[in-house]
């Protein structure tokens, strides 16, 4: 049974998956630094800009969630599923996510961040081609 409104669930889910994407991007920077990349700076710069965009969006989401009294709490995690409790205005809803589905959500957010980050310089690059 659904206890939270769609808007509340969407906000909380975006916040949750965006937070996971930030963690993944930070881990990627460590991998690039310690990896066999010959030229690391372009990759680091791109990921740092992606993290910056993600952190700014998450800050806005957190403020909106605080204003609407929405919280997300991790309940449980095993090899297959992760459980989160979504709380809003005295209502709560437990959600179980299949871990590969979480990975797909995070991947989509990372692609979205990459597109947003590359977008400003992209039109001029296409015009020069």
Domain count along the chain: 1
Q: Is 39 within the bounds of a domain?
A: yes
Count of residues for the chain? 129
Residue 23 has pLDDT above 60, yes or no: yes
- Contact predicate 18/54, CB 8 Å: yes
For residues 68-93, give the mean pLDDT: 95
Q: Is 73 within the bounds of a domain?
A: yes
How does pLDDT run across 25-63, given as a tens digit for each residue? 999 999 999 988 899 999 999 999 999 999 999 999 999
Q: Among the listed ranges 13-17, 21-25, 121-125, which one has the minimum average pLDDT value? A: 121-125
Q: Is 125 within the bounds of a domain?
A: no
Instruction: Report the mean per-residue pLDDT for the chain.
Output: 91
Please give the Cα distance from 58 to 74 (Å, whole number).
17
Residue 122 has pLDDT above 50, yes or no: no
Q: Is 123 within the bounds of a domain?
A: no
How does residue 119 score in pLDDT terms, banded at 50, 70 and 90?
confident
Instruction: Report pTM.
Output: 0.87
Q: Is 128 within the bounds of a domain?
A: no
- Segments in 6-97 forming alpha helices (H): 6-34, 41-67
Q: Is 36 within the bounds of a domain?
A: yes
What per-residue string of b and e applies to 100-124 under the rule 16 or more CB within 10 Å gives b?
Answer: eebeebbeebbeebbeebeeeeeee
Range of the domain at 79: 6-118
How does pLDDT run across 93-116, given as a tens digit for each residue? 999 999 999 999 999 999 999 999
Q: What is the pLDDT of residue 120?
A: 62
């Amino acid at each position: 049974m659904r206890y939270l409104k769609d808007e509340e669930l969407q906000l909380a889910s975006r916040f949750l998956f965006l937070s996971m994407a930030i963690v993944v991007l930070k881990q990627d920077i460590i991998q690039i630094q310690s990896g066999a990349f010959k030229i690391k700076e372009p990759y680091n710069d791109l990921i740092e800009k992606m993290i910056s965009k993600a952190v700014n969006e998450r800050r806005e989401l957190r403020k909106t969630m605080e204003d609407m009294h929405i919280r997300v709490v991790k309940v449980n995690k095993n090899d297959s599923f992760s459980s989160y409790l979504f709380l809003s205005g005295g209502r709560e809803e437990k959600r179980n996510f299949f871990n590969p589905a979480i990975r797909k959500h995070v991947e989509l957010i990372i692609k979205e961040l990459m597109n947003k980050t590359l977008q400003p310089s992209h039109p001029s690059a296409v015009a020069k081609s």
